[in-house]
Chain A
């Protein structure tokens, strides 16, 4: 408890009036806790961290934390992050997005940030729905589910965010859940320390909209669903397709050395000046 109090005082903004905007029981707060613990462990100073978000319930997160914080437009957080990082590479840039933010309206920016492998960490809270606007379906809403714009049934197929990030060229990709809180801490920590585009997809719940419409129970029950459907990468390797059918993998899904945009651009600067690249 003493440790928690210390972290709260160190990282939350005292001049920002709490309470926060989130519904009681929402997973975003749990993710915020994990973020702060991970940042504290990495040793980055508050001045060197820039936390950037888009729009949505998830996008409201940076306002509460005592970093350089930037709350941008819906879906565009990664574009702002690209500018911040390239203008001042010494900064540690962390981007917080919702699923709609990251892969619907911001989908193009997401795949291109991954392709460039820019040294930014992207954290996506995937609650399978547009929480802020009242529970409409998102690109990660599973087939057959009910939302306020698919009251009969969702007929679209869902994106798998992590797999998309791997294909697009991210250096590090991991998936966790807000149920496995401590696991989330270490995934964040690894993502922050990785040079290149690192992605952590955080499976969460929106019990007040999505959960209610689909009779998935309380926040706690939805977190129990996360517990029961997550399998670690290691365990998944031992399971067959049938056993994995309604499960999702958690843990580090990709961790590879790929050319990082800023390093490559450094070579361009050298070439432009006629000096041989290192």
Chain B
């Protein structure tokens, strides 16, 4: 059946809710925090209508635990928070990584550290999203810069988490979460929804953490007859704790392999006027909007500028970044932190281009003028 076009004026947080419901989210556990609260509030009224569950937990540690539990029982699950809550979620986020439980975590960034700037925009959790929980682990982190992308990337976040059995973080900045834009939900566009692959073998043959060629074992929901053990301890292919070096090595490498052999599937972004660009801006989130404006203005003045917009922050879009590093003389990385993505850009640069940064940490956005100023300065 074709879905009707639904034109709506939505806030970023609202579009995230629409995306989550469209993706099949049926469980949400959270704890209120600005600037992510709207997601909780709206889902508390929307989820019961579709026989889903909303629960306000006692804190973000509990929220993350409940989300993982619900996912193990078969529900597509999500939570939403901001910096202080994201810090509390790190413990169980690591559990989702090691036990390979699909789930989506929305972090609407605020300035930090600690309580920081509750109502001001920031992009300072890029590294926390990647490395916030302890131990070696891969992570998938998506970042929208339009309301349309809030919707699309939330669906994508669910799809990727179900497909790769890894938590996916949607890293949003306050500007995008609270601004409004007109979007058409679905309409005639086909939307792919991916559901976790379940075992087809009889229960006695099921190996819950099997080292398959894809690196992604089939996942049985609790209560379906496949009784197996899930643990946060490093485990063997049957899910039982192990301390055998060869089994540990196999397991950790598989966790990385399932992500690294599929980078192309999870890395999305946009090359805007980069083919002949001498100066390329690499940006994400709300800053990518200012960057696009600056590139348009620069082109009008005869400066060959371009933009590489990153929608996937992790795994880092190395191939795409290397491409612009090789075709441009200068690369500018503006971001609302002290240089978290620019650090990665510099790491892969190897002298191909000159890399400049704009770092703003005063709780205000980076304007097109500021980026334009830098473009002029370096050209």
Contacts and interface: CB of A to CB of B under 8 A. Distances in A.
A, B in one complex: yes
B53 A87 contact: yes
A86 B55 contact: yes
A70 B69 contact: yes
A112 B62 contact: yes
A40 B29 CA distance: 33
B67 A83 contact: yes
A91 B222 contact: yes
Given A83-B66, A87-B77, A88-B223, A269 B51 contact: yes
Interface centre among A69, A86, A91 (most CB of B within 10 A): A86
Interface in B202-235: 221-225, 227-233
Interface centre among B58, B92, B221, B228 (most CB of A within 10 A): B58
Interface residues of A, number: 43
A268 B55 contact: no
A17 B243 CA distance: 13
B71 A83 contact: yes
Contacts of A63: 229, 231, 240-241
Contacts of B59: 108
Contact of B27 (A46, A69, A86): A86
Given A71-B233, A109-B58, A112-B58, A83 B228 contact: no
Contacts of B240: 15-17, 63
Given A73-B92, A87-B53, A112-B62, A46 B231 contact: no
B69 A47 contact: no
B140 to A, nearest CB: 21
Contact of B77 (A48, A83, A269): A83
A68 B62 contact: no
Interface in B45-79: 45, 48-49, 51, 53, 55, 57-59, 61-75, 77
A81 interface: yes
B65 A268 contact: no
Given A47-B223, A63-B231, A272-B49, A79 B72 contact: no
Nearest to A50: B222
Nearest to B221: A88
B157 to A, nearest CB: 18
A69 B53 contact: no
B186 interface: no
Interface in B103-148: none
B350 interface: no
Contacts of B58: 108-109, 112
B295 to A, nearest CB: 45
A66 B45 CA distance: 38
Contacts of B230: 69-71
A72 B67 CA distance: 13
Contacts of B77: 83, 87
A244 B71 CA distance: 47
Interface string A50-66: 10100100000011001
Contact of A15 (B45, B74, B232, B238): B238
B73 A88 contact: yes
Interface of B: 26-27, 29, 45, 48-49, 51, 53, 55, 57-59, 61-75, 77, 91-92, 95, 221-225, 227-233, 238, 240-241
Leading 5 A-B pairs by shortest Cβ distance? A83-B69, A79-B65, A83-B70, A83-B66, A80-B69
Interface of A: 13, 15-17, 46-48, 50, 52, 55, 62-63, 66-73, 76, 78-88, 90-91, 108-109, 112, 265, 268-269, 271-273
Given A48-B223, A68-B227, A76-B61, 16 more contacts: A46-B227, A69-B227, A69-B230, A70-B69, A71-B230, A73-B91, A79-B64, A83-B65, A86-B27, A87-B53, A87-B77, A88-B75, A108-B59, A109-B61, A269-B51, A272-B48
